[in-house]
Structure 1
Amino acid sequence: MTGARSFLGRDVLAARADGRYVVVQARADDAPALEAVQRACFPDLSEDEIATERHFRSHQAHFPEGQLAVLDAHTGELVASSSDLRMNVDFAHYAHPYLEETGDNLFTTHDPHGEWLYGADIGVHPKCRGQGLATLLYGARHDLIRRLNLRGHIAGAMPKGYGAVADVLSIEQYVMEVVRGERADPVLSVQLRRGYGVWGIIPDYLEDESCGNYGVCIVWRNKEFRP
């Protein structure tokens, strides 16, 4: 598989060095597998905010280029995915709930002329974590940003470790400690290592006890952007 440009008739956008896992553009018929990965990844997320088959099909209708999946080249199984849409960003008023930003997770807020890629979701099935699949997806997302000449990537990161210490730390203290490297967060620390910066904190971003319902607005800027 190393260096292959297609897999099962699908264009390969990125691949792990050994070819075991490949990134392809997700399709509408992937919706059941995408929902299965979503549920495995986010067992604490409220039912109102989990992405289902209906949502994934709507993502395809609005912005197919922004929907990515990772396939196991040995089995053909879909084991990870990411979902993005385009938007313009008012950085003075960034603190919006997840469902508001994503049009109730249907991507009806997608702006085909938006200058930023908004990272609505990324998930790696628990059985495949630690194998570089999120890195593959982030690389493919950044490639898409460069290809479309967008300003960069913005997302609401879930500080998954905050819920466990919320009774002794404010969210501001927690995020600052993560930024300074004094504390590790399973999501935010990884994104900071990928070159994202923290812009601010989003209260009531979503319903998830593991992050105290908070999101952290993170930004990656495309250094190759041409106005």
Structure 2
Amino acid sequence: MIESFRVVNSQPEMAKQLEHIQRASFPNLDEGSLITAAHYQAHIAHFPEGQFAVLNDTGMVVACSTDFRTTVDFAHYEHSYLDAVDHNWLTHHDPGGDWLYGADIGVLPAYRRRGIARMLYDARQALIRRLGLRGHVAGGLLAGYGQHKDRMSIEAYVDKVKTGELFDPTVSVQLKVGFVIHGIINHYVDDPSCDNKAAFIVWHNPDI
């Protein structure tokens, strides 16, 4: 029997499962950057419709995403992840913000390559269209750059990811769901796998 999945809004009682997904998804992140069960409960309190979980047939949470509303200055986009999410408490959520900021997506390793991340992106895009927001922004971790940093600049790496010459485990997937790369964030996280770098990515609401 083929396993099926469904997307729901995250609930407070899922918080420990959500933290487990976070830790399994980002084993190289320092402890201070990881989202804990208490953080997830705060996210749900601040912006419940922007928090998503994917359940399998048994009701186990196998993936999740975190989002908040914000305004965006596209001329000044360099920022750190922890500043954007107020150290994972999401208190910078602006109920009047016209952009959805994708703070995080995590999928349990055993459930990857099954279209689950795409389900979460689809849920985010549906939320954006329902709320009439301008679009979706995020810092896409350049997860493959750590393996190439001694051989090429971050600019060269991003160009090759854009053209498809190189596959980045995170950003290449995001490009496939309609994002474009607006620029490079040099000090986004403390993670050697991406040399701390991310792409500032944008998805525009086609209804606007």
TM-score, length-normalised on structure 1? 0.89
Alpha-carbon deviation of 1:183? Answer: 0.9
Q: Which residues in structure 2 correspond to 1:151-190 (within 5 Å)?
A: 151-190=134-173
Letter in 1 for 2:10: A
Identity across matched positions, percent: 51
Alpha-carbon deviation of 1:176? Answer: 0.6
In 2, Cα distance between the equivalents of 1:120 and 1:40?
17
Alignment equivalent of 2:30, drawn from 46, 67, 82: 46
SS of structure 2 residue aligned to 1:48: helix
SS of structure 1 residue aligned to 2:31: coil
Alpha-carbon deviation of 1:182? Answer: 1.2
1:199 aligns with 2:182: yes
Runs of 5+ unmatched residues, structure 2: none
Alpha-carbon deviation of 1:181? Answer: 1.3
Q: Which residues in structure 2 correspond to 1:14-25 (within 5 Å)?
A: 20-25=4-9
Q: Which residues in structure 2 correspond to 1:1-227 (within 5 Å)?
A: 20-73=4-57, 75-225=58-208
Alpha-carbon deviation of 1:162? Answer: 0.2
Alpha-carbon deviation of 1:54? Answer: 1.2
Which is greater in Rg?
1
CA distances 1:4-26 after superposition (whole Å, capped 9, x unpaired):
xxxxxxxxxxxxxx771000000
CA distances 1:106-135 after superposition (whole Å, capped 9, x unpaired):
100000000000000001100001111011
- What is the aligned-residue RMSD (CA, Å)? 0.9
In 1, Cα distance between the equivalents of 2:199 and 2:30?
18
In 2, Cα distance between the equivalents of 1:144 and 1:19?
25
CA distances 1:111-169 after superposition (whole Å, capped 9, x unpaired):
00000000000011000011110111110100000000000000000011000111111
In 1, Cα distance between the equivalents of 2:3 and 2:156?
41
Letter in 2 for 1:117: L
Q: Which has the higher helix share?
A: 2
In 1, Cα distance between the equivalents of 2:3 and 2:33?
33
Alignment length (residue pairs): 207
Alpha-carbon deviation of 1:28? Answer: 1.1
TM-score, length-normalised on structure 2? 0.98
